[in-house]
Structure 1
Amino acid sequence: MTQTAQTLSTSANAQIAEALNQCVAETAVTTMMAQNFHWNVTGMAFGPLHELFQKIYEDHFTAQDDLAERIKALDAHAHGTLAGMLSRSKVTEVEGAPSAQDMIRLLKEAQETLAETLAGAGELAAGHGDTLTEDLCIARGQTHEKFAWILRAHLA
């Protein structure tokens, strides 16, 4: 049976919101990673990578808001501190300016992590009958898998 935020149990809302807060944290850290790489990429592939990294961080910035708004629809708290996001995220910050190849690899790995985290959140939501959250997680996961594929193509 399909549930909405208003018909889910308080416990289900809390569990789903917690999973979505994990997604927000990892998306935020990956957003900043892509923006850092956008600012600092150099070399022969500067133009296309500069544009790709911008496309990624702009997409992710919007995604953070979509995920946080779903958390609020579940009547939960959207965690919004940078320190909290960094401490919770499975994606880690990257210090300095790695080579363009390392930037691509690190961002690809972050995309794969995001896709996996969103798949888990979607499965949790599905288990509670929350198809709206499940659909959001599926759509976001597909986006991250596509970015991972594009980045992998640059490493071939």
Structure 2
Amino acid sequence: MTQTAAALSTDVKNQIADALNQCVAETAVATMLAQNFHWNVTGMAFGPLHELFQKMYEDHFVAQDDLAERVKALDAHAEGTLAGMLKRSKIKEHDGKASAEEMIKVLQEAQETLAATLAGAGALAAQGGDTLTEDLCIARGQAHEKFAWFLRSHLA
């Protein structure tokens, strides 16, 4: 049964909010990865990679806000510290000292991880009857799968 956030039980809201905070954390780390690589990419593919990485971090920055605001709509606390996000995230920081190919691989793995995390959060939301969160997770997961495809295409 589909319900609005107000109609969900506190337990269900807290479980979904926790899953969304995982998504926020991983999105924040992926944002910084893309921006770091945008700044530091070099080589013959500089132009297209510089542009792709910028599209990624701009997309992810907006997504962080959308996900965190959904956490707040569920009456929960949105994780807002870098330390908390880094601790929670399955995606790890990178110093940016890498070849363009390594940057692509790191970002591809990050996109795939994030898509999987969003799929899990969406499934949890669906189970709890929160179709609005489920829809947000599906849309974001699709965006990250598309970025992963773009990145894989550079390695083919």
Q: Give me the TM-score of the superposition, normalised by structure 1.
A: 0.99
Cα deviation, 1:67-88, whole Å, max 9, x if unaligned, reads: 0000000000000000000000
- 2:48 is aligned to 48
Q: Is the 8 A contact 2:37 2:96 kept in 1?
A: no
- Cα distance in 2 between the residues matched to 1:31 and 1:84: 15
- 2:98 is aligned to 98
Cα deviation, 1:36-83, whole Å, max 9, x if unaligned, reads: 000000000000000000000000000000000000000000000000
Cα deviation, 1:84-118, whole Å, max 9, x if unaligned, reads: 00000000000242100000000000000000000
> How many residues are treated as equivalent by the alignment?
156
- 1:33 is aligned to 33
3-state SS of paired residue (2:5): coil
Q: Which amino acid aligns with 1:131?
A: T
- Cα distance in 1 between the residues matched to 2:30 and 2:47: 20
- Cα distance in 2 between the residues matched to 1:130 and 1:114: 20
RMSD over aligned Cα atoms:
0.4
State how 1:135-146 maps to structure 2 within 5 Å: 135-146=135-146
- Give yes or no for the alignment of 1:65 onto 2:65: yes
- 1:132 is aligned to 132
Q: Which amino acid aligns with 2:18?
A: E
State how 1:104-115 maps to structure 2 within 5 Å: 104-115=104-115
Q: Which amino acid aligns with 1:81?
A: T
Q: Which amino acid aligns with 2:114?
A: L
**Identity between Structure 1 and Structure 2 (%):** 79
